[in-house]
Amino acid sequence: MNPLPALLLPLLMLCCSIPSLAINTPLKVTVLSHDAKFIGDKTEGVSVTVTRLTDNQILAQGKTQGKTGDTNRLMKSPKQRFEQLSTADSAHFSVELDLNQPTLVRILIQGPGFLGARVLSASRDLWLLPGKDYQHGDGILMTLQGFIIDTNWSQEGTTVTVDSLVNLLCGCPVEPDGLWNAAHYQLQATLQQTGQPIARQALTFIGDSEFRATFQDLTAGEYQLQITAFDPKSLNTGVQTIIIQID
């Protein structure tokens, strides 16, 4: 009788009982503001969540940190296929995952943090293979689209002055004839009561990404003030609604 099968059986059972070893898998996520630069510290970054789709287990969480990147490389130079857009200090989120098999994940981004409850989100589903370098180049490059609008208002008699700061999601400035040319932007302030518009004014540029509109002859009461910004070329859009009380 050949004793070899009897000797192999325990060895095979031992091998089957040993879990496959996890392999270090580097992952980087970068987030561009559409038609602009990387979203990072300047606007409080973008939160990143990596979830394994088979069981919804969160594998990693963090936030993009760093600078907005090289303006010339991102906005002025012709782009070649596979050309890296980010620099060493460009905003990103990096993590080392331990994977023991091909893993289908969902990367959810939410931001920028400056927007608070108004953050925008996007997601991407993709496979990750153990040991492969997903930090190469720009890593997993994602995009959020829109404007940040930050509005203040003041009252003098029956007149209300509205001042709105409008920037790209990366915090990049907008101005007439600038790199982000606000001359063709459509910016509007609308006063509403009980959800119905009662007055509209275009906002005009007054300097340093700041725009102004004025409403006159207002009666006392509570109003909803809605500011909208639209770029008909990039299709970037921003909206902010606040409550104001006229005395």
pLDDT tens string 128-168: 999 999 999 999 999 999 999 999 999 999 999 999 999 99
151 and 139 inside one domain? no
Q: pLDDT at residue 43 above 50?
A: yes
**Mean residue pLDDT across the chain:** 93
Q: Who's near 149: CB < 8 A, 6+ residues apart?
A: 164, 165, 166, 227, 229, 238, 239, 240
57 and 170 inside one domain? no
Give me 153's structure tokens: 């208002």
- Rounded to an integer, the average pLDDT of 34-49 is 98
Pairing verdict, β 140-144 and 23-33? parallel
199 and 219 inside one domain? yes
Among 92, 123, 144, the domain boundary falls at 144
128 and 152 inside one domain? no
Q: Per residue in 169-200, pLDDT tens? A: 999 999 999 999 999 999 999 999 988 999 99
Identify whether 3 is part of a domain. Answer: no
37 and 129 inside one domain? yes
Within 10 A of 197 (CB to CB), how many other CB atoms are there?
11
33 and 137 inside one domain? yes
- What is the rounded distance in angstroms from the CA atom of residue 165 to the CA atom of residue 178? 16
Domain harbouring 46, CATH code = 2.60.40.10
pLDDT band per the 50, 70, 90 thresholds, residue 3: low
46 and 102 inside one domain? yes
Identify whether 14 is part of a domain. Answer: no
Give me 159's structure tokens: 């007149």
220 and 190 inside one domain? yes
Identify whether 238 is part of a domain. Answer: yes
Among 112, 144, 176, the domain boundary falls at 144
pTM, 2 dp = 0.87
Domain count for the chain: 2
173 and 106 inside one domain? no
Residue 188: which domain range? Answer: 147-246
Within 10 A of 179 (CB to CB), how many other CB atoms are there?
12
- What is the rounded distance in angstroms from the CA atom of residue 24 to the CA atom of residue 97? 6
119 and 200 inside one domain? no
140 and 151 inside one domain? no
Q: Who's near 213: CB < 8 A, 6+ residues apart?
A: 161, 162, 164, 189, 201, 202, 203, 204
Q: Per residue in 190-242, pLDDT tens? A: 999 988 999 999 999 999 999 999 999 999 999 999 999 999 999 999 999 99
- What is the rounded distance in angstroms from the CA atom of residue 242 to the CA atom of residue 224? 6
Q: pLDDT at residue 18 above 80?
A: no
